[in-house]
Structures are given as C-alpha cells and as structure tokens.
Amino acid sequence: MPLIVLSGQPCSGKSTVAAKLQELLQPSHPVCIVDELKLHLERNSAYQTTVQEKATRGTLKSAVERAISKKTVIILDSLNNIKGYRYELWCVARAAGTRYVMVHVATPTQTCSEWNTARPDGQRYSDAVFQDLAGRFETPDARNRWDAPLFTVRPGSPDEASVLAAAAAAAIGSPLQQPQQQQQQQQQPCQGAGAAGSDPAADVDSLQEEQLLHQGALPGELQPTIATTNPALLGTNVLHELDRAVQDVVSRILEVQQLAPAGGASGCMIDLGHAGRLMLERHLPLAELRRHKRSFLKLATKVTFSRLQDPAAAQRMFVDYVKQQLAAAGADPRGSADGYTFPPLDGALCQQELISTGINRVHSMAAAASAEEQRVAALVEQLLWLAHRLGV
C-alpha cells in the first residue's frame, strides 16, 4: 500500500488533513498514521536544535520503514519541510515497491501563527521554534520525482474535498467508491450502465478523475532498484556449497587433461554439463586452476554474491570467469611483459632454454635503447674500470 507524505508549515492543519484522508480510505483499506504524538515526541524539544531535529526525522523515518507494507496505507503526518528528507522517504517507498503521494497543506504563515497561538500551552510551538521552522520550509515542487504526484490542499477552500479525494484515489490507484454508491450497488447489482448516468456518486467519480487528470495521472507502484533492494537471505552453508560446486569444475578439467595424451590438451573441448563448455588452448596446471578458484570466490562473495543463488549458477559463472582470464592472459598463465609473450611451456623446453630466451630478450631490449642511455652505460663502465685500477 502507498505512502502518503504530508508537508506543510507548523500548525497548518496537517493532522486535520490526515484524519480526513483516513476517513476516506479506511472503509476499504487499513490506514496507519505516523506522527510525533504517537512516537511520544514533544514538539518544542524535538525541533529545538539541529541535532534534535535530525534525530526526530530519523525516528519518524524508522517508524515509516517498520510500518510500510503491501496491505496498509501509511500517512506520515509531520513537517517534512526538507526536500532532501522527502527524497529519503521516496526512496523508502521505492524500496518497498509501493506508491508514493505528496500532499502539501498550503496554509499562509500568518494563519499558521494565529492557529499556533490559539492552541493550549502544551500543544503550541514556542515563538523561536515556530519562526525557525517556518523560515526554513522548502515548498514541494511537482517537477521533482520525490514530490510527485503533488496535491496542494488549502484548508477551508471550496476544492479541499475534491483534492483530498483525488489524493486518496491516487494513493490506492483507483477512484474511491463512495458509501452511497456502495449501497446502490448492493441493492441493484444488475443495474445497467445507462441508469448510472444520473447517479450523484458517478458524478463524484467523474470529478475525481478530472482532478486526477489535472494533478497528474494515477501513479504506479515504484520499482525498487539494485541499490534499494535488500539481498535475499541465503543459507548458512552457502559458501561451502559454492566452493564444492567450483571444485567440481576444477576436478573435471584436471580429469580431462589427465586422460588426454601427452601435449594433447591443447585444443580440447571440455563439456561441463549445465555449466557450459570450455575450450583449452593449452594445458592448465593445478596451481593456476586453484588461483582462478580463489580469485573467483573472493570476487563472488564481495560483488556478485547476490546472483549466486545455487551451485549451478556458481559453476556457470566460474567457467565464464576462467574464459575471461585465459583470454586476458593471451594463452599463457605468465601473460606478457613489455609486449613480449613467452613461448608456451611444453616438455621440449627446459629451464636452460627458457633462461637463454630471457637473456636474448634482455640483449635485444638493451640494443634498442636510446643513444643517450648507451653513452651513460659506457661512462659508468669506464668509471668502474678506473676505480678497479686505482684500487678504490
């Protein structure tokens, strides 16, 4: 069910508007009103300092988060005078996947001051607190998504009832059904549509629809995003299951490589069942497979853990991860250095040949050095020879 946020100056009549909205919605929908009074917050002390005001807003927001659900209409009866705070409330509604409606109680500041003075001592704002809150009020703007759809209510105006009816209809996503219309439908369930043209309740529905068109279309439910969606709770042994699933893939790769003839693992296609297929361009040693496994599990638990809902998904993602790592390494686990790729390791290449290849590469890099670097190297060599002759 939706979240209806009231916004207005202190003593502007927000509680009266909340009671009227509750009266409109409660015949068919459960309604919960969240305000400072129900949370045992005294008005002056709750907004006396910046720290106390911030704590008050946090308390109200927490109460809304606890109460919001798919079955109850939540009405937040408070100042809600900061647009950043209204954005936070909009994010709460989006995370819950429900509708959001903003109702601005537009009462002149002078009238609010008079109403505040007329209240009993225990229910009024002090002059300092009232002036501070009234001076910092940020009027809702329908162009902001966290202030839309916006319904402006002016207490005592002729259109107050129609605006409240439109706001309530926007909250539940359909025009309200008046009690008179409900009784007539119960008494005449088979009455034709032609006779309803002169029904006063039908005129009320038409007025509500016209008001909705004027204020904006009926809002849909807000869709939660990845940033606002709570991850699903997984089992306590999920890490063990993911580790075992990935180890099954590693064991399958090693098994195929062991069954292949000497040097025959290159170009071998491994069928991993529902995890897909993996083309081996070279032999993958156990140490490299373990390294890929550790890196994948570390990455999965930090970034993609919410997508690993079962072992099968973990196996598919691990195979894709190995493919990406092999493609990035260029068919060799040691990769490349300075644009040079080491020759593939096989049984014919011994350690001496590998060292000779590295030395030749160093010589070629030295030969390609600039003339200035060569002169510096020659000067250093001469200085070393001179130091040796002098016995330094």
Question: What one-character-per-residue DSSP string does 231-286 give?
Answer: PPPPPTTHHHHHHHHHHHHHHHHHHHHHHSPTT--TTEEEE-GGG-EEEESS---H
CA dihedral defined by 101, 102, 103, 107, rounded to 10 degrees? 180
Question: How many helical (H) and strand (E) elements, i.e. helices and strands, does the chain have?
Answer: 14, 9
Residue 97 backbone zone (phi > 0: left; psi -120 to 50: alpha; other: beta): left
**What's the half-sphere exposure (Cβ side, CA atoms, 13 Å) at 82?**
12
The structural domains of the chain, with segments of one domain joined by +, span 3-181+200-215, 238-337, 351-390
The type of residue at 74 is I
Assigned CATH class of 3-181+200-215 = alpha beta
Structure tokens at 251: 């064991």
**Rounded CA separation 336/341 (Å):** 5
Residue 105: strand pairing partners? 8, 153
Structure tokens at 390: 């002098």
Please enumerate in sequence order all residues whose Cβ is within 8 A of that of 250, keeping only pairs 6 or more positions apart, or say none.
Answer: 289, 290, 293
Report the chain's C-alpha Rg in angstroms.
36
Tell me if 222 sits within 8 A of 97, measured CB to CB: yes
Q: What three-state secondary structure class fits 154?
A: coil
Candidates 77, 86, 87, 101; CA nearest to 3 is 101
**Rounded CA separation 202/181 (Å):** 8
**What's the half-sphere exposure (Cβ side, CA atoms, 13 Å) at 148?**
12
Candidates 136, 143, 124; CA nearest to 11 is 124
Q: What does each C-alpha distance from 337 to 243, 283, 313, 330, 365 come to in angstroms?
A: 33, 21, 35, 12, 12
Residue 375: strand pairing partners? none
Handedness of CA 135, 137, 139, 143 (dihedral sign): positive
pLDDT in tens, the chain (392 residues): 789 999 999 999 999 999 999 999 988 899 999 999 999 999 899 999 999 999 999 999 999 999 998 889 999 999 999 999 999 999 999 988 899 999 999 999 999 999 999 999 888 999 999 999 999 999 999 999 999 999 999 999 999 999 999 999 999 887 655 444 444 444 444 443 333 444 443 444 454 445 544 444 456 788 877 666 665 555 667 778 888 888 998 998 888 888 776 655 666 777 888 778 888 778 888 899 999 998 888 887 765 455 566 788 888 888 888 888 888 876 443 434 344 344 444 444 344 444 555 555 555 555 555 555 666 666 666 666 666 666 65
Q: What three-state secondary structure class fits 7?
A: strand
Q: DSSP assignment of 344-385, as one string?
A: PP-TT--HHHHHHHHHHHHHHHHHTS-HHHHHHHHHHHHHHH
